[in-house]
Amino acid sequence: MHVLRKKIGPHVRPPYVRSMSASRTLIEQFQQTTLKHNFREANHRADALAKKVIGLVAIQPFFGGEQRTESEISLATIDPLVSIARTDWMWEAFLPPEEGMNRDHEVINVSGPRAVDLSRLDFPATIVFIGGFDSLKDWQKRYYEWLKRSGKEVYLVEYPNMVHAFYVFPELKESEDLIAHVKNFVHKQCSKVVES
């Protein structure tokens, strides 16, 4: 929250945020995927860590970049959760205050121009979930393709008719399907550990 307060002031909130508690929740939600990715990266760089990450579940990861993607533009009026204005505000609040920082920062655009070379890292198996009506789907697909090009074990599951965060609606059959995919992925990764 320190970065948020420093960027926009202690009492200024975007119109869709009614309280700092809600603001903190929004920031925490979009940071989860970027933090998970960067933890994985750090995990593979730090030999001293006692635990090894054996799998990553990336459900509609919240990545971005300076370039506007086709999905960001075409879904701008359809996707109220992940609009360009909202994501730009979140990235601005998240970025360090140093000069020259932009959405191509390696924490936001993990597969972009400042990306870490994962090809030499023992990166965990990853499953990426994408919704067809998610404004960030092009970034999510780039993430999947980048992991694949880096020689990593990665799986892609697409839900062409779903929006960002569809999985929070348990009445949707796609939510149940996503949970089944996660369960199978976790069991598969855990069975590898047991076998070795």
Specify the pLDDT at position 28.
46
Specify the pLDDT at position 15.
42
H or E element, residue 155: strand 154-159
Specify the pLDDT at position 132.
96
User: Within 101-170, where are the H helices?
Assistant: 137-149
10-44 per-position pLDDT tens digit: 444 444 344 444 434 444 444 555 556 665 666 55
The tens-digit pLDDT sequence of the chain (196 residues) is 334 434 444 444 444 344 444 434 444 444 555 556 665 666 555 544 447 889 999 999 999 999 999 999 999 888 878 888 888 898 888 888 888 889 998 888 999 998 989 988 999 999 999 999 999 999 999 999 999 999 999 999 999 999 999 999 999 999 999 999 999 999 999 998 877 6
Domains of the chain: 2-195 (3.40.50.1820)
Specify the pLDDT at position 17.
40
Specify the pLDDT at position 36.
60
Rounded Cα–Cα distance for residues 62 and 124 (Å)? 19
Specify the pLDDT at position 20.
40
pTM score, whole prediction: 0.74
Specify the pLDDT at position 14.
42
Rounded Cα–Cα distance for residues 28 and 19 (Å)? 14
